[in-house]
Structure 1
């Protein structure tokens, strides 16, 4: 089973049980964003949480094995048309250079890790309209001279 087939099986089982990603993550004791990413094929899942997920969703050992496979992380270079994903690209397009300047001013020459990294999505109720709160927390990795 490949990652695409795995994702399809997981989404079908999730839908059949009327579960949210948050409920699945809570059910296996892991973070919502990370579990969702692994189920969509962008991260590998260690054996124990993979077994818990497959038990929760009543999925086969083939799905477990696919969850544990190392992914090839790739995406299209063109800007996506989905409005939510497009807006994230827009944020990076408008504020990317600003974030780079501010991060490097505070930390020095380097980058934020996407490996030693966590992300959370929260909902903030607001009288002017509910707000999406994205929290990204990555280790700073300084560039080295040699």
Structure 2
């Protein structure tokens, strides 16, 4: 059962999907970018977008700021503060951009694993103690996408 933070009150609870629909509708109506919204509330654009898409929870004060910027009701603020149930489809997505990211992991995943293990030892990169940025490099041959992932290394323990 999903719970509402005790400090938040609402007449009805939205699902994360309903919350996301309302946020995106308001964003489009106000003609705002994720970058512009993130700057207004003082957070990173990648983290903000992830929270608005339902994959992270937001502290109540940030949820309140977001709802003020987008002129959204309290029920959206409550949904933003709820802890997410992180799940996604295991089928390969059909969206070309997301599919290409799956392709990158498919082609380079084992290479990354080998190099990370050589440099750090046996362990994983955290997706909890983690940040990510998306940049743009202008290039005469075609603009380039720069994705930087920064995760804490977590060694496997022996016992």
Same fold (TM over 0.5): yes
Does 2:31 align with 1:18? Answer: yes
In structure 2, the residue matched to 1:97 is: 110
Larger relative CO (CA 8 A, sep 6+): 1 or 2? 2
Task: Identify which of 35, 51, 68 aligns with 1:55.
Answer: 68
Give the aligned partner of residue 51 of structure 2.
38
Instruction: Report the Cα distance in structure 1 between the residues aligned to 2:37 and 2:119, rounded to whole angstroms.
Output: 37
Q: TM-score, normalised by structure 1?
A: 0.99
- Distance (whole Å) between structure 2 residues aligned to residue 117 and residue 61 of structure 1: 29
State the distance in 2 between where 1:55 and 1:19 align: 14
SS in structure 2 at match of 1:14: helix
Alpha-carbon separation, structure 2, partners of 1:4 and 1:80:
18
Structure having the larger proportion of residues in helix: 1
How many Å separate the matches in 2 of 1:6 and 1:124? Answer: 33
Measured after TM superposition, the shift of residue 18 of structure 1 is 0.1
Paired with 1:48 and 1:139, the residues of 2 have a C-alpha distance of: 27
1:73 matches 2:86: yes
TM-score between both structures, scaled by the size of structure 2: 0.91
What SS does the aligned partner of 1:138 have?
strand
Q: CA RMSD in A?
A: 0.5
Post-superposition offset of 1:48: 1.2
Unaligned runs of 5+ in 1: none
What is the deviation of 1:88?
0.1
